């Protein structure tokens, strides 16, 4: 039985590594958005897609391994129950791997929340600018201007 707990612990650590990459990309996106480097955002979105595919693959593997191990141990596929059902040494390894992953997930949630708020603010600002440009364009043309723009100073 020691093989499955070790595989699960290794998978949890690999998932933590991939989510740390996702965290790094998210921080770079936030900084690019904050600094107005919109051209960098496209590259970062591509990076995000690649890392997301890897995240989904490792999540599928983790779920399969935890499900198999939980079934073998007669518990739910929840890390706390798996850790409790394992011998102490193996439970400690799985528990520490899970703890590290949970911390990374928490940091990632915070960064994604910040990024989401920044994107909402950018969207609002863009909508305000477009509305103002339209209003200025209409008032500059005046009611009798027939689509021309008066450039006199």
Alpha-carbon distance of 67 to 11, in angstroms, equals 13
Q: What's the confidence (pLDDT) of residue 1?
A: 44
Instruction: Show the tokens assigned to 53.
Output: 């595919």
Q: What's the confidence (pLDDT) of residue 116?
A: 86
Residues of the chain with pLDDT under 50: 1
* Domains in the chain: ranges and CATH: 3-141 (1.20.58)
Handedness of CA 98, 99, 100, 104 (dihedral sign): positive
Instruction: Show the tokens assigned to 66.
Output: 């935890």
Q: What's the confidence (pLDDT) of residue 97?
A: 96
Instruction: Show the tokens assigned to 26.
Output: 């998210």
Alpha-carbon distance of 57 to 147, in angstroms, equals 56
Alpha-carbon distance of 135 to 123, in angstroms, equals 18
Alpha-carbon distance of 65 to 81, in angstroms, equals 14
Contacts for 71 with CB less than 8 Å, ≥ 6 apart? 77
pTM, entire model: 0.76
Q: What's the confidence (pLDDT) of residue 146?
A: 53
């Amino acid at each position: 039985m020691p093989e499955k707990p070790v595989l699960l612990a290794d998978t949890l650590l690999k998932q933590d590594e991939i989510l740390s990459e996702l965290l790094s990309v998210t921080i770079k996106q936030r900084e690019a958005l904050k600094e107005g480097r919109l051209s960098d955002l496209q590259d970062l979105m591509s990076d995000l897609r690649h890392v997301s595919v890897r995240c989904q693959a490792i999540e599928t593997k983790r779920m399969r391994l935890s499900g198999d191990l939980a079934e073998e141990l007669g518990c739910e596929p929840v890390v706390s129950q798996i850790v409790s059902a394992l011998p102490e040494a193996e439970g400690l390894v799985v528990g520490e791997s899970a703890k590290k992953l949970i911390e990374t997930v928490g940091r990632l949630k915070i960064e994604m929340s910040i990024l989401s708020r920044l994107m909402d603010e950018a969207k609002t600002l863009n909508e305000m600018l477009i509305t103002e440009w339209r209003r200025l364009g209409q008032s500059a043309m005046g009611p009798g201007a027939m689509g021309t723009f008066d450039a006199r100073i």
